[in-house]
Amino acid sequence: MDHVFLDFEMNPISRSHKEARQVVRGEIIEIGAVKLDGDYLLTDRYSAYVKPALCGIAPHIITLTGITDQKVAGAPPLSEALEAFVRWIGPDPVRIYSWSDSDKKQLTRECLLKELSLPRVFHRWMDFQRIYTRLLGLSKRSRLSLSNAVGSVENDFEGKQHSAMADAENAASLLTLVKDREAFARRSKIIRELMDGDSVAATTLGDLYGDLFAQYITSRREAAPEEAATV
C-alpha cells in the first residue's frame, strides 16, 4: 500500500459571499503532496495551483504563501484539479495523511459548496498530527505546529513554510521517522526528557496506528458497511 501525505493552501472567501461562508471559509488554491511506498520511502512529489472561483488572492495570503492572482490565473478549477490529483495518486490502494484534520474538513466542505463528489480515495484519511502528538506523550490539547514537530526531532524545516509541497514533504519525513522505533526514540530524546516522558520511547507508530485505524474501520462500517469493506 502507498501512503500520500498532502497539504492545501487556502484563500479566504470574502464576507460579501455570506452564503458560501456559511459552508466553508476559504478555497483551495494549491495542492501539494508526496507519495511514499510500503516502506515509507518517498517515491514522488506533486504540486499544482487551483484557481479560486469566488475571490482574488488576499494580500496576507500573497505575503504568507507567495501565491498571486497571476500564478493561479491559468490554473484549473477545483473539479479539474481534483481529477488530476486523483490520477497522480493512481488506482492502487493508498492511505491519505495530513497534518491535522483541517485539510480534510476544507476539502469536504468545499466540495459540498461547489456540488462536487468527494473522490473515494479521500475516504481513507488519517490525521497524523493527532498520531504524532500521542507518540510524544502530549495531551490531545497540545497539538504541535508542523515546524515545531519537525524541530522536536532536531530537524530543520526543509523549503519554504506555507508551500503546500514543502509542508507535505516535511510532515511525511516525520511519518517515515516514526516507523523506526530506535531512531524516533533517539531523535525525540530531548523533548521527551523535557516532558519527563520515559514511556514514550517504548511506543511505536504501530502501537498507536493500529488502534486508530481499528477505530477508523469501525466508524466507517457503522456509517457505510459496503464502503468500509473496500478500505
How far, in whole angstroms, is CA 228 from its chain's centroid?
21
CATH code for the domain in which residue 101 is found: 3.30.420.10
Looking at the structure of the chain, the number of domains it has is: 1
Average pLDDT, the chain: 84
Query: CA 17, 19, 20: angle at the middle one, nearest 5?
Result: 65
pLDDT, tens digit (0-9, with 9 covering 90-100), for 152-201: 776 666 766 778 999 999 999 999 988 888 888 887 776 666 655 444 44
pLDDT per residue over 197-213, tens digit each? Answer: 444 444 444 554 444 44
Say if residue 231's pLDDT is above 80: no
For the segment 83-103, what is each residue's pLDDT rounded down to a tens digit? Answer: 999 999 999 999 999 999 999
Domain around 9: 1-231
**In this predicted structure, what is the pLDDT of residue 50?**
98
